[in-house]
Amino acid sequence: MKTREEFITGMCLTWDHSFLAPQQEVFPGHVFGLTDDQKKALWNNMAQVFDNDIAKYVIQKETVVSRTLATSESIKNDRTTSDVLSHMMTEVGELAQEIIISNGKSYKSPGDDGVTGEAIDVMLCALDIIALEEPGCSEEELFEYAVKKLNKWVKTTTKK
């Protein structure tokens, strides 16, 4: 993924191909390139266009998946996938309890996390297992794999 600076430099070069070239007289009376002030003004204009109209479409924002994978990889506590799986099973139990409560089938009151919070706990554990089993696995790789699984899911659950 390109950085903001790389995008803006590319925009400046598209506007004026001499953007990175030092200003020089190529022959008497004909100058090639921009002055430093012209370069700064062009950069600032392109930066404003980028920030206001383009960045939201091209700059990848942090996602729950990328944050979870990075956090998982940063934690060095000798946990194993079996350890995380055991913890995930307790989270699945808590999720089941919250669903029972939300369906009115329990005398208990909902917990602070509720169904969504417990489902997120299960999801975080699952992503932690992936990070432990596939160190360095990228969100893009997970996305491609998930799309295949989702397509299979749709095929097997769609009524004909």
**Per-residue H/E/C for 57-121:** HHCCCCCHHHHHHHHHHHCCCCCCHHHHHHHHHHHHHHHHHHHHHHCCCCCCCCCCCHHHHHHHH
Residue 83 to residue 89: CA distance in whole angstroms: 10
CATH number, domain 64-157, options 1.10.287, 1.25.40, 3.30.1380, 1.10.10 = 1.10.287
Instruction: Report residue 56's pLDDT band, with 50, 70 and 90 as the boundaries.
Output: confident
Q: Is 98 exposed, middle or buried (0-12, 13-18, 19+ CB in 10 A)?
A: buried
Cα gap 107→141, rounded to integer Å:
43
**Residue 1 pLDDT:** 64
The domain locations on the chain are: 4-58, 64-157
pTM listed for this prediction: 0.62
Helix (H) or strand (E) holding 24: strand 24-27
Q: Taking 90 as the threshold, does the pLDDT of residue 159 lie above it? A: no
What does the mean pLDDT of the chain come to? 92
